[in-house]
């Protein structure tokens, strides 16, 4: 599973290597929802035996997906790819209501690994619909979480708002009472601008009682704001299709620090380190700690690294597993 590390660029001994200050963000990496989703797949394999099918990537991280494949998980895009006699797990991002309905119609054994914080947004959408409100949903078109959330309500009852410009121009149905909800993995700062504009245009719009952006997303963005000002470059470990990881790059850049998204150590170009005396390092919520240490080990092949962990908050959230896997 380990990617090959770059060799030393020359024959210098460690003592002769130039120094590098490494500021490591905390919290970083796995959140409670990701921990839960991975454990759900592992326990399903233990309970039902391999193979266990997983609809979509359980989380957006190739390293995690490959590790689960090695244990007996088979990843597919749709339920049509799941045999009638095989168990299936739904990803942490959530699914439209039509997916479990189809699984029940086919009498499939299924386990829902949707993050509880995403499920909370699903319930909020249903409640706003019951109150007769049209929902403006702030999120990124095509993201699995957005597809899953918009699939909780009938077509036409929710309008997607992606940008501040969308918030300025969106035209909800005439005379409709309005509510807004958000994807859980958005930029805290960008979302605040969008919601402020919606509230300016529609003073009676109903917002969620608590922020929809999840604690892990908010905490990791706050941690990047702590390491970025003292860094010449920020490295974010995460997948290109991981919304929360891409947001971390944007947060660093908004702080005025260049940032790069990498999937693991092998992606680092030694040329990036030219003229760099300090690097900030973090990982998206789907990236395991092994990849963080892999990056640190790679940097130590090129530089004398002095590590500092900057703790912005301590997380202790734990989510329960589905009852069918604990009975």
State the Cα–Cα distance between residues 277 and 272, nearest whole angstrom: 11
State the Cα–Cα distance between residues 327 and 324, nearest whole angstrom: 6
Residues of the chain with CATH 3.40.50.11270: 32-112
What pLDDT is attached to residue 327? 76
> CA torsion sign, 4 to 10 to 15 to 17?
negative
State the Cα–Cα distance between residues 95 and 321, nearest whole angstrom: 18
**Matching residue, tokens 């119609």:** 105
Residues of the chain with CATH 3.40.1010.20: 18-30+215-311, 116-212
pTM summary value:
0.90
Which of helix, strand or coil describes residue 236?
A: strand
State the Cα–Cα distance between residues 269 and 271, nearest whole angstrom: 5
What pLDDT is attached to residue 11? 45
CATH top-level class for 32-112? Answer: alpha beta
Residue 171, both tokens: 């035209």
Contact 151, 137 (CB under 8 A): no
Q: Is cis: bond before 27, omega within 30 of 0?
A: yes
- CATH code for the structural domain at 116-212: 3.40.1010.20
DSSP state of 80: G
Q: Spell out the SS3 assignment of 118-143.
A: HHHHHHHHHHHHHCCEEEEEECCCCC
User: By CB neighbour count within 10 A (0-12 exposed, 13-18 middle, 19+ buried), where does 93 fall?
Assistant: buried
What pLDDT is attached to residue 42? 98
309 sits in which H/E element: strand 304-311
What pLDDT is attached to residue 14? 59
Active site residues: 145
Contact 244, 30 (CB under 8 A): no
10-residue averages of pLDDT along the chain (327 residues): 49 74 98 97 98 94 96 96 96 96 97 97 97 98 96 97 98 96 95 97 93 92 98 97 96 98 97 97 97 98 97 95 91
**Matching residue, tokens 């914080």:** 117
State the Cα–Cα distance between residues 107 and 91, nearest whole angstrom: 19
State the Cα–Cα distance between residues 20 and 224, nearest whole angstrom: 18
Fold of 18-30+215-311: Cobalt-precorrin-4 Transmethylase; domain 1 (3.40.1010)
The residues, any chain, with a CB within 8 Å of residue 194's CB and separated by 6 or more, are: 138, 161, 163, 164, 166, 167
């Amino acid at each position: 599973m380990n990617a090959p590390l770059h060799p030393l660029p020359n024959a210098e001994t460690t003592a002769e290597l130039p120094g590098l200050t490494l500021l490591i963000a905390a919290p970083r990496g796995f959140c409670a929802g990701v921990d839960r989703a991975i454990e759900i797949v592992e326990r399903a394999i233990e309970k039902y035996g391999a193979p266990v099918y997983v609809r979509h990537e359980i989380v957006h991280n190739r390293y995690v997906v490959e590790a689960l494949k090695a244990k007996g998980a088979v990843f597919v895009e749709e339920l049509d790819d799941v045999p009638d006699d095989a168990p299936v797990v739904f990803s942490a991002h959530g699914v439209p209501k039509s997916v479990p309905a189809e699984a029940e119609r086919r009498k499939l054994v299924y386990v829902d690994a949707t993050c509880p914080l995403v499920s909370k947004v699903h319930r909020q959408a249903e409640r706003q619909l019951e109150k007769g409100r049209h929902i403006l949903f702030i999120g990124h078109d095509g993201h699995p979480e957005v597809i899953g959330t918009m699939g909780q309500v009938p077509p036409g009852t929710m309008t997607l708002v992606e940008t501040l410009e969308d918030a300025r121009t969106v035209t909800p149905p005439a005379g409709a009472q309005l509510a807004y909800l958000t994807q859980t993995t958005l930029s805290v700062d960008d979302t605040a601008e969008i919601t402020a504009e919606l509230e300016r245009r529609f003073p009676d719009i109903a917002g969620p009682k608590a922020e929809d952006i999840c604690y892990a997303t908010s905490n990791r963005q706050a941690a990047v704001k702590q390491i970025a000002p003292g860094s010449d470059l920020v490295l974010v470990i995460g997948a290109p299709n991981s919304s929360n990881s891409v947001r971390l790059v944007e947060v660093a850049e908004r702080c005025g620090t260049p940032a790069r998204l990498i999937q693991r150590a092998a992606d680092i170009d030694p040329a990036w380190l030219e003229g760099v005396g300090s690097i900030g390092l973090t990982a998206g919520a789907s990236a395991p700690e092994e990849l963080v240490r892999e990056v640190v080990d790679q940097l130590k092949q090129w530089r004398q690294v002095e590590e500092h962990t900057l703790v912005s908050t301590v997380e202790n959230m734990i989510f329960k597993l589905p009852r069918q896997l604990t009975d």
